[in-house]
Chains A and B, each alone.
Chain A
Amino acid sequence: DAGVTQSPTHLIKTRGQHVTLRCSPISGHKSVSWYQQVLGQGPQFIFQYYEKEERGRGNFPDRFSARQFPNYSSELNVNALLLGDSALYLCASSTRDSSYNEQFFGPGTRLTVL
């Protein structure tokens, strides 16, 4: 069975640009969450979506936005990129919207902002 997939695997952008990251959950999973992992730190929660609705939002600026599509895949958008946005962006899927359910993580997208 295919796990959580993310694209692209690596991305290089310059300050001020915008970026779109994509995530496909495990088949049958309706919840997708996004995390930012800066080098040397634990992941930081950005968003959770369930059934195309936002169910949770972490402490990130409005430059960060996301959406979930009818097939439960998801996009994370970041506008006006800053150097500090350089990180590994992780997507996780689960069967339901509760964080108590096990989340399955993708390999991540490594974003570098120059």
Chain B
Amino acid sequence: AQSVTQLDSHVSVSEGTPVLLRCNYSSSYSPSLFWYVQHPNKGLQLLLKYTSAATLVKGINGFEAEFKKSETSFHLTKPSAHMSDAAEYFCVVIPGGNYQLIWGAGTKLIIKP
């Protein structure tokens, strides 16, 4: 069965320090992977996506993620956190040949001043 596991429900970092949000997936097929961000009272926004091209994917707002097939991981990183990064982040997988997006439970990112 296909699934997505976000390993941390909450991550708290100080402004200016690195961010790491962890995501592991299971898929029987070559997957496509996404990260979405949801700010309070705003719609979901696509941060970045991996679709079998380069394994290191750069997204908006300085975020990037690396696809590691051997570890079945797609962790999201940012070198320096900003207060505006405070939001909920979702890792999403599309198993190959399927229309259905499978969402992780989300990680709430808290930025301390």
Please list the residues of chain A having a beta carbon within 8 angstroms of any beta carbon in chain B.
3-4, 40-45, 48, 55-56, 58, 90, 92, 97-100, 102-108
B44 near A41 (CB under 8 angstroms)?
Answer: no
Chain B interface category by residue count: 20 to 34
Of residues 25 through 45 on chain B, the ones whose CB sits less than 8 Å from some CB of chain A are 32, 41-45
Shortest Cβ gap from A98 to chain B (Å): 7
Q: A42-B105, A100-B51 are in contact. Are A105 and B100 (CB under 8 A)?
A: no
Chain A neighbourhood of B49, CB < 8 A: 102
Shortest Cβ gap from B13 to chain A (Å): 21
Chain B neighbourhood of A106, CB < 8 A: 43
Chain A neighbourhood of B41, CB < 8 A: 107
CA distance A2 to B65 in the complex (A): 30
Which of B44, B92, B100, B102 makes the CB contact (< 8 A) with A56? Answer: B100
Shortest Cβ gap from B105 to chain A (Å): 5
CA distance A106 to B42 in the complex (A): 8
B94 contacts the other chain (Cβ, under 8 Å)? yes
Please list the residues of chain B having a beta carbon within 8 angstroms of any beta carbon in chain A.
4, 32, 41-46, 49, 51, 90, 92, 94, 98-106
B43 near A42 (CB under 8 angstroms)?
Answer: no
B99 near A42 (CB under 8 angstroms)?
Answer: no
Give the one of B49, B51, B103 with max A CB within 10 A: B103
Q: A42-B90, A42-B105 are in contact. Are A103 and B46 (CB under 8 A)?
A: yes
19 other contacts beyond A42-B104, A99-B100, A100-B51, with CB at 8 A cut-off?
A: A40-B105, A41-B105, A41-B106, A42-B90, A43-B90, A43-B101, A45-B100, A56-B100, A90-B44, A92-B44, A98-B99, A99-B99, A99-B101, A104-B43, A105-B43, A107-B41, A107-B42, A107-B43, A108-B43
Which of A3, A58, A90, A108 makes the CB contact (< 8 A) with B100? Answer: A58
CA distance A45 to B41 in the complex (A): 20
CA distance A20 to B34 in the complex (A): 30
Chain A neighbourhood of B43, CB < 8 A: 3-4, 90, 104-108
Q: Which 3 interchain pairs have the tightest Cβ spacing?
A: A42-B103, A56-B99, A105-B43
CA distance A40 to B6 in the complex (A): 13
